[in-house]
A and B are shown apart, each in its own frame.
Chain A
Amino acid sequence: QKEVEQNSGPLSVPEGAIASLNCTYSDRGSQSFFWYRQYSGKSPELIMSIYSNGDKEDGRFTAQLNKASQYVSLLIRDSQPSDSATYLCAVENTGGFKTIFGAGTRLFVKA
């Protein structure tokens, strides 16, 4: 059983639209949640972290966390072609020794 699940996509949205990326996790004790972006052939880079229930906004990005539902999402407003990448959801497991990554969702933003 996967511990962090994401829809693999691809998710295709037109330029300027809102892209919504979703992630569920199985470890109820998890306290730290991250979204990484990975361009093709490149390494992942952190774009958002969230630790409390609710929304956290940073520029065009909003992370949403619902611990009761074990659900975390990432919204990208005014999507740009440069946002086209794979988005990895990462969850720190109970005990904090390991971060589990989802398989990622591929996002395509069409110009």
Chain B
Amino acid sequence: GAVVSQHPSWVICKSGTSVKIECRSLDFQATTMFWYRQFPKQSLMLMATSNEGSKATYEQGVEKDKFLINHASLTLSTLTVTSAHPEDSSFYICSARDSGKTNQPQHFGDGTRLSIL
């Protein structure tokens, strides 16, 4: 079945550090990938839609300069949390859908737990 790989699964770093999270579709091509954030006991919040070869589309209230998204190939999107602060600590999840087919579910990575000290 379709697999989305997300790396790393857990990051602990100091305040001010920039952190890059990778999202790969392993057995399908994805022109569009999605980045979500989840706070404890809350629902998934869509942060941005990553578009291959073009700029990402950010949801209202999400700082594009803070959360840099790059979708350089059909199988890889990256989210970089720049100059991370403790309030950026959260669970970040990516998803992707096979762009070659219609009516396909989004498949999710296992998420990245980001802890900023």
Asked if A pairs with B, the answer is no
List residues of A whose CB falls within 8 A of some B CB. Answer: none
